[in-house]
Amino acid sequence: MHPLIDYPRHPAQFSSRSVYAAAHVVVDSRATYTPGIHPPVDWESTIAFREHLFSYGIGIAEGMDTSERGPGGLDWAQAKKLIRLGVAAARKADAAVVAGAGTDQLDPSRTHSLAEIVDAYLEQLEFVEAQGSAAVIRVSHALVATAKSSEDYLSVYRDVLNRATKPVIVHWLGTGFDPSLTGYWGHVDPLEAMETVVQMAEANVDHLQGIKFSLLDDEMEREFRRRVPANVKVFTGDDYGYTDLLLGDGEHVSHGLLGVLDPIAPIASSGFAALDRGDDADFTQIMNASIPLATKMFEAPADRYKVGVVFVAWLSGHQDHFRMVTGREGLRSLQHLTDLFVLTDSLGLFPDPDLAASRMRAFLAANGID
């Protein structure tokens, strides 16, 4: 085992980039429940993990991650509690926070009119803003099932964004994370979809903080940055090549709203601190060291990445078990999880290396490897 690297705490927000983690939720494994159906949440451990992120200057995008919210994960009632508690914890720590507003309270077994979809968005937007947070406008499975054209998307987003009292982040989530979103924005081809997203941004620029780009295509993200209005931030969702995107090309930069910031918060904090002091070379060296872990964690199918996030959190002592709110912990191979253990250890990220080693030995033994 490698010794713990004492990455310095950085409780203040960063000045050079806006930085948010799509933080995981800790299930209450002691409760009686069917995984994936209204899973019970360990609220104390869930909020404690957010406080861990805040201590490194990493904000949170609360209740927006599609891998733990929606069908098979948290329902809207649970998401409301998560948002309420998470935003309160962030405000107490003076940490950055945004929270997801979507349409997942709608019955997925039937289609809904565009007006019903707008109303659902507005219900959640009003709740998020009432907690004191700006919203992330999540993708809508109801919308992709109903919309017939790009004009339908432009109409819905216009009606929702016009009601926002705080500038929002719009999430553009690709099929690499959720294949059921094929045709979102009215186009299957992402380059054609980009035309619609740019139109949306230009038409709603006064209501936008930014757009989260989750297509895992760094060249397309660079093109997108060149095309959106200058005062609209692009938040990278590229968990494979975030270093160069965050660093920028001298004219445009990406900001961070990443799932991988959950397990790599300490090392990422040191990277963003270097960026704040203008040390691009140090930033690049620090962040590039984490890329092999991120690439392994997000390997296809990328929508299973949270399995690794929760596994590393358990090995790190942030929770007492390797169970997920979605019940999907078996969807990565033993070799995949072993690789994550080795890569996380190589970065000195385990707070207690002996605990991590002990839990890994027990995990391997339980899976037939002595």
Concatenate the DSSP letters of all residues of 23-86 into one string: ----B-TTS---TTSS--B-HHHHHHHHHHHHTTT-EEEET--TTTBSTTSB-HHHHHHHHHHH
Q: How confident is the model at residue 21 (pLDDT cuts 50, 70, 90)?
A: very high
N-terminal to C-terminal alpha carbon distance within the chain: 18
* Residue (of 171, 211, 219) closest to 191 by Cα position: 219
The tokens describing 108, both together, are: 């997925």
Average pLDDT taken over every residue of the chain: 96
The helix or strand, by DSSP H or E, that contains position 257, with its residue range, turns out to be strand 255-258
pLDDT tens for 181-198 read 999 999 999 999 999 999
Q: How far is CA 160 from the centre of its chain?
A: 22
**pLDDT at residue 65 in the model:** 79
The tokens describing 188, both together, are: 């299957």
**pLDDT at residue 310 in the model:** 98
Residue 67 pLDDT more than 80? no
Of the chain, the percentage scoring pLDDT greater than 70 comes to 100
Could you tell me the domains of the chain?
19-289 (3.20.20.70)
Give the C-alpha separation, 65 to 72, whole Å: 12
Residue 70 pLDDT more than 90? no
pTM for the whole structure:
0.96
Q: How confident is the model at residue 58 (pLDDT cuts 50, 70, 90)?
A: very high
**pLDDT at residue 182 in the model:** 97
**pLDDT at residue 91 in the model:** 98
Average pLDDT of 266-285? 98
Give the C-alpha separation, 79 to 101, whole Å: 10
**pLDDT at residue 230 in the model:** 96
Residue 262, classified by CB atoms within 10 Å of its CB into exposed (0-12), middle (13-18) or buried (19+), is: buried
Average pLDDT of 33-53? 94
* Residue (of 123, 107, 26, 116) closest to 73 by Cα position: 26
**pLDDT at residue 286 in the model:** 98
What are the CA-CA distances from residue 295 to residues 301, 324, 348, 362 (Å)?
Answer: 12, 21, 18, 26
The tokens describing 133, both together, are: 């947070």
* Residue (of 98, 102, 58, 105) closest to 77 by Cα position: 105
| Residue 62 main-chain phi, psi, to 5 deg | -85, 135
Cis peptide preceding 301, ω within 30 of 0? yes
Give the C-alpha separation, 167 to 153, whole Å: 19
Which value, in Å, is the radius of gyration of the alpha carbons in the chain? Answer: 20
Q: Which residues contact 76 (CB under 8 A, 6 or more apart)?
A: 104, 105, 124
**pLDDT at residue 172 in the model:** 98
Residue 312 pLDDT more than 80? yes
Q: How confident is the model at residue 293 (pLDDT cuts 50, 70, 90)?
A: very high
Contact 258, 239 (CB under 8 A): yes
Residue 329 pLDDT more than 80? yes
Give the C-alpha separation, 332 to 335, whole Å: 8
AA identity, residue 201: A
pLDDT tens for 198-220 read 999 999 999 999 999 999 999 99
Give the C-alpha separation, 28 to 275, whole Å: 38
Residue 113, classified by CB atoms within 10 Å of its CB into exposed (0-12), middle (13-18) or buried (19+), is: exposed
Contact 241, 175 (CB under 8 A): no
* Residue (of 178, 162, 172, 216) closest to 193 by Cα position: 172
Give the C-alpha separation, 183 to 53, whole Å: 35
Give the C-alpha separation, 333 to 258, whole Å: 23
pLDDT tens for 87-115 read 999 999 999 999 999 999 999 999 999 99
Q: Which residues contact 46 (CB under 8 A, 6 or more apart)?
A: 25, 26, 82, 85, 86
AA identity, residue 310: V
Q: How confident is the model at residue 71 (pLDDT cuts 50, 70, 90)?
A: confident
**pLDDT at residue 47 in the model:** 98
pLDDT tens for 124-163 read 999 999 999 999 999 999 999 999 999 999 999 999 999 9
